[in-house]
A and B are shown apart, each in its own frame.
Chain A
C-alpha cells in the first residue's frame, strides 16, 4: 500500500474518531446526570392513527411543558410483539425510559409490579380524582396490593367481526350471530371464491386473539373469566367445544395467513378477497387510514353483550431518568383533554367515562355504548387476563394447533400451561 494511502487512511480514522468522541460526549450519559428537561416515552405506536394520536399528545405536552425535549422511543410491530422484549432488555440493563406503554392487567402486575420495577401512583390518582372517572373494573386491573401502578389512556375491544358492507349487501349476507350461522355463511363465501376468514398471524398473537374471541363466545363471560383464576377447568367440555369450533374455523382461513400481518389480512377484506376478519377495533383506524368507508362490524358469534377489553396504560419505572417530566406525562395521559385528543385519532375509546361522544367516529360511538352496558372480560392475547409467561405458553400451544388442529393434544397442553403458570394445581 502506498504512503499516500496510509496517510489518507490515518486522516479518515482520526476524523471519524473525533466525530465519535464528540457525539458520544453529547449522548445521554450512562451515568445519571442532573435531570435535563427531557421526556422519553417508549411505545409500539409507529404508524397510522396510533402514531398520529401519540404525536397529538406530545403537542399538548409541549404546550403544557415548554422547553422539554421529547424522545419518541418506538419499537414497531403489532400488539407490541417486538417492543416487549426490547423493553425488558432495557429495564434489565438498567436503562429504563421515563415512561412506557404497557397493557393493563396481568402484563402490568405480573411482569413489572410484583418484581418491583414500578413506582406506586396513589398520590397522583388521589390528586387527579381518577378513582371517580375510571370505571371500577378498570381500576381493579391497575391495582396491586391496594396501590395503583399505571394510568390507562384508552380502551380497545378485542372481539369485533369486521366485514365489507358492499360485499355483504351485494350477496344479501348478514353478519353471523352464532357459530352455526358463521359456518353456513363461510360455506357460501367459499362457493363464491372468497376466503371466508382473513387471518394474519406472522406474529403468533393474531391466532391467540382469534382463540380468545372464540372462547369468549363458546364459554360465555362467566366461564371465560373463570379460566384465568382456575375456577373453570381447562380440561372440561367447554374448552373442548371452543377448540372444536376454532379447528373448524381454521379450515376457512386464507392459506398464506402465516406470511401476513393483521393489517394485510384486513386489506383482503377491504379488497373483497376475504369475507370477514376477527380482530380488535384498531381495524377501524386502519380502515380510515386506508380510506375504506364501507366497513361493517358486529360482535363475533356468541359474544353479543360481551366486551373483551384491553387497555394501553403508562406507568412510572423506578429508575426513570426524568421523573418530574414523567409525572407530567402521566397526568396528561389520564386527563380529559389528553384522552379526547388521543383516542378519536388512535381509534379507541377513552378509559375515562366522561369523554364527549361527539368527537368520535361511527364505530367508536357504538363501542362507547357497548362499553357502558356490556359485560367486560379481560383479553388474553393482549396482556389483561394472564401473565406474559402464561401467554407465551399458550402461544406455543396455539402455534401447533393452527396447523395440526389436534383438539385433544391442544387441550392437554393448555391444561399443562395453566399448571406451569402456577394458576392451576
Chain B
C-alpha cells in the first residue's frame, strides 16, 4: 500500500517539471512552428496560413546561405581548437606538474565569464587599425614587433575557397563537384577571430572534462600495457584515448550545440561583420524579428536552427537512452 502511494507521490513530484517542459519547450516550439507558417510581418500577430513560403524565402536568401557556411566553419574550427587544446592541456597537467591547481584554474576561469565580457575584451584585442596610415592597434602591435604580418582579424572580408582553376579545383571539376569551388564552400577569415575568442572561453571546460576522465583512468591498465611492451605514445594512442572516448563524445555534443546556437559573442564582438563574414543564424533571427519586424521569417530561422541542433542531439539522446536501458 505504502509503495503505491509512494509511486503516486513520485509522479506528483514530477508533474510541475513535466507540465513546464510540455508547455515551455514542446508547446512553444509548436507555437513557433505555427508562426513560421504564417504571414506575421509587423508587430501585430497575423496567423494567416502561408504554408512553407517563409522557408522557401529563407532558403533563397543569400544571407542565409552565408550564415549556414559560417556556422559550419565556426563549429568545425571551434571543435577542432577546443578539443585539441583541451586534451593537450589535460595530458600535460596529468603528468604531475608543479602548480597543477594554479594552471588548472588559469585554464578554467574563462568558463566563468559571460560571452558579453569575452566579446568586449576580444573586440578590443583584435581591433586591427590601418596599416596603410600607420595606425596599428591591438594584438597587431605585438605581431608588428615580432616582424609578423598585419592581420585584419574580424574586419577581414576575405573568404578562402578552392579556386576553380587551381589543381584541386580542376580535380573537383572533373569529378563533377565544381559546386564546391565557390566562396559558399570557403572559410571566412573574420570568423576565425570569433573562434579564437570562443576557444579562449570554452577550451578550459574540455580540459576539465578530460582531466576528470584521466583521473579515473585505472593505473593497472597502463601497467598492463607497459608489461606488454607498449611505449608511452602507444599507451596514449591505444589505451588512454579509447578510454576517454565517452568524454570526447560528451564534449563534442556540448561544444557542438553551443556553437550552433552562438549569439551573444557575435553580438558583442563583430555583429554581422563585413559582408556578413561573421553573421550567424541566431543573430540573423534577432535582427529579422526585432529590427525588421518580420516575425514569421524570424520564426522560420529559429525552427531551422532547432532542426539543425536536433540532427546532432536526437541520435545522441536516443543512443544514451538505449545504452542505459539496455545495461
B133: interface (CB < 8 Å): yes
What is the distance, in angstroms, from A146's C-beta to the closest C-beta of chain B? 21
A contact residues around B43 at 8 Å (CB) = 88, 91-92, 111-112, 115, 117
Q: Cα distance A70–B153 when bound, in Å?
A: 43
- A residues near B62, Cβ cutoff 8 Å: 400
Contact B291–A388 (Cβ < 8 Å)? yes
Is the pair B272, A399 in contact by a Cβ cutoff of 8 Å? yes
Is A392 a contact of B132 with CB atoms below 8 Å? no
In the complex, the answer to whether B274 meets A85 with C-beta atoms within 8 Å is: no
Q: Which residues A213-270 have CB closer than 8 A to chain B?
A: 254-259, 268
- Separation of A388 and B286 alpha carbons in the complex (Å): 14
B294 within 8 A of A: yes
> Out of A259, A273, A399, which one reaches B154, CB within 8 Å?
A259
Instruction: For the complex, give the distance between the alpha carbons of A385 and B243 in Å.
Output: 64
Query: Is B293 a contact of A389 with CB atoms below 8 Å?
Result: yes
Q: Contact between A258 and B270 (Cβ–Cβ < 8 Å)?
A: yes
Contacts of A404 in B (CB 8 A): 275
- Interchain CB contact (< 8 A) of B128 among A84, A89, A256: A256
- Partner pick for B293 among A111, A256, A258, A402, CB 8 A cutoff: A111
Whether B293 pairs with A255 at a CB distance below 8 angstroms is no
| Cβ distance A319 to chain B, nearest Cβ, rounded Å | 13
Q: How far is the CB of A264 from chain B (nearest CB, A)?
A: 9
> Which B residues, 284 to 300, have Cβ-Cβ distances below 8 Å to chain A?
286-288, 290-294
The answer to whether A258 touches B155 (Cβ under 8 A) is yes
CB < 8 Å neighbour of A254 from B130, B154, B290: B130
Residues on A with C-beta less than 8 A from B275 are 399-400, 402-404
Q: Please give the distance in Å from A202's CB to the nearest CB on chain B.
A: 7
* Contact residues in A for B128 (Cβ distance below 8 Å): 255-256, 259
Residue numbers in B under 8 Å from A91 (CB-CB): 43
Decide yes or no: A396 and B132 within 8 Å by CB, A255-B152, A389-B41 being known contacts: no
Contact present for B294 and A273 (CB under 8 Å): no
B257 at the interface (CB under 8 A from A): no
Q: Which of B129, B134, B288 contacts A392 (CB 8 A)?
A: B288
The listed residue with most B CB atoms (<10 A of its CB), out of A203, A257, A273, A396, is A396
Q: Report yes or no: A403 in contact with B271, Cβ–Cβ below 8 A.
A: no
B44 contacts A by Cβ under 8 Å: yes
Interface string of B66-82 (1 = CB under 8 A from A): 00000000000000000
Most buried by A among B134, B271, B292: B292
- Cross-chain contact A400 with B276 (CB below 8 angstroms): yes
Residue of B nearest to A89 (CB): B290
Is A52 in contact with chain B by the CB < 8 A criterion? no
- Chain B residues in 8 Å Cβ range of A327: none
Does A66 sit within 8 A of B, measured CB to CB?
Answer: no
Is B42 on the interface with A (CB-CB < 8 A)? yes
B271/A255 in contact, CB under 8 A: no
The yes or no answer to A415 lying at the interface (CB within 8 A) is no
A195 vs B135: C-alpha distance when bound (angstroms)? 11
A358 on interface, CB distance cutoff 8 Å: no
Given contacts A85-B290, A193-B133, contact A389 B270 (CB under 8 A): no
Of residues 94 through 147 on chain A, the ones whose CB sits less than 8 Å from some CB of chain B are 110-112, 114-117
Q: Indicate whether A167 reaches chain B with its CB closer than 8 angstroms.
A: no
Is A206 positioned at the interface, with any CB of B under 8 Å from its CB? no
Q: What chain A residues lie within 8 Å of B286 (beta carbons)?
A: 85
Tell me whether B292 and A273 are in contact (CB under 8 A): no
- Dominant SS at the A interface? helix
- Within 8 Å of chain B (Cβ to Cβ): is A185? no
| Residues of chain B within 8 A of A85, CB atoms compared | 286, 290-291
Cα–Cα, bound, A194→B288 (Å): 37
Contacting pair B133 A194 (CB below 8 A) = yes
Q: Report the Cα distance A112→B62, complex, angstroms.
A: 30
**CB closest residue in chain A, given B272:** A399
Closest CB of chain A to B162's CB: distance in Å? Answer: 19
- B271 partner residues in chain A, CB cutoff 8 A: 202-204
Q: Which of B155, B272, B288 contacts A256 (CB 8 A)?
A: B155
Chain A residues, CB < 8 A from B154: 258-259
Q: Is the CB of A256 within 8 A of B127?
A: yes
B157 interface hit (Cβ, 8 Å)? yes
Complex Cα gap A112–B43 (Å):
8
CB contact list, B249-307 vs A, under 8 A: 270-277, 286-288, 290-294
A399-B44 contact, Cβ under 8 Å, with A111-B293, A195-B133, A258-B270:
no
Is A388's CB under 8 angstroms from B292's CB? Answer: yes
B63 interface residue (CB < 8 Å to A)? yes
Query: What separation, in Å, do the CA atoms of A117 and B273 have in the docked complex?
Result: 33
Chain B residues positioned under 8 Å from A400 (CB to CB): 62-63, 275-276
Residues of chain A within 8 A (CB-CB) of B132 are 193, 195, 255
Cross-interface CB contact of B44 among A115, A268, A392, cutoff 8 Å: A115
Q: How far is the CA of A202 from the CA of B277 in the complex (A)?
A: 12
A423 in the interface, Cβ–Cβ < 8 Å? no
Contacts of B292 in A (CB 8 A): 388-389, 392-393
B292 → chain A closest CB, angstroms:
3
Contact B155 A257 (CB under 8 A): yes
Chain A CB within 10 A, most for which of B41, B129, B293: B293
Residue pair B290, A88 in contact (C-beta under 8 Å): yes
Determine how close the nearest CB of chain B comes to the CB of A79; give it in whole angstroms: 11
For A181-214 the 0/1 string (1 means CB < 8 A from B) is 0000000000001110000001110000000000
Whether A273 contacts B133 by the Cβ 8 Å rule is yes
For A204, list chain B residues within 8 Å (CB). 271-272
Residues in A neighbouring B288, C-beta threshold 8 A: 392
Q: Is the CB of A389 within 8 A of B42?
A: yes
Q: How far apart sit A258 and B274, CA to CA, in the bound complex (Å)?
A: 6
Instruction: Point out the residue from B42, B133, B290, B294 that lies within 8 Å of A115, measured CB to CB.
Output: B42
> Are A84 and B290 closer than 8 Å at their CB atoms?
yes
Complex-state Cα separation, A117 to B42, whole angstroms: 12
Taking the closest CB of chain B, its distance from the CB of A25, in whole angstroms, is: 25
Complex alpha-carbon distance, A122 and B152, angstroms: 54
Seed contacts A388-B293, A389-B293, A396-B63; 11 additional CB < 8 Å A-B pairs: A81-B291, A91-B43, A111-B293, A115-B42, A193-B134, A195-B133, A255-B131, A389-B292, A392-B291, A399-B274, A403-B277
Which residues of A pack against B, CB within 8 Å? 81, 84-85, 88-89, 91-92, 110-112, 114-117, 193-195, 202-204, 254-259, 268, 273-274, 388-389, 392-393, 395-396, 399-400, 402-404
Can you spell out 7 A-B residue pairs with CB atoms less than 8 angstroms apart? A85-B290, A88-B290, A115-B44, A204-B272, A255-B130, A258-B154, A402-B274
Please name the 9 residue pairs, one residue from A and one from B, whose CB atoms are nearest each other, closest first: A403-B275, A392-B292, A85-B290, A403-B157, A258-B274, A258-B155, A115-B43, A259-B155, A392-B291
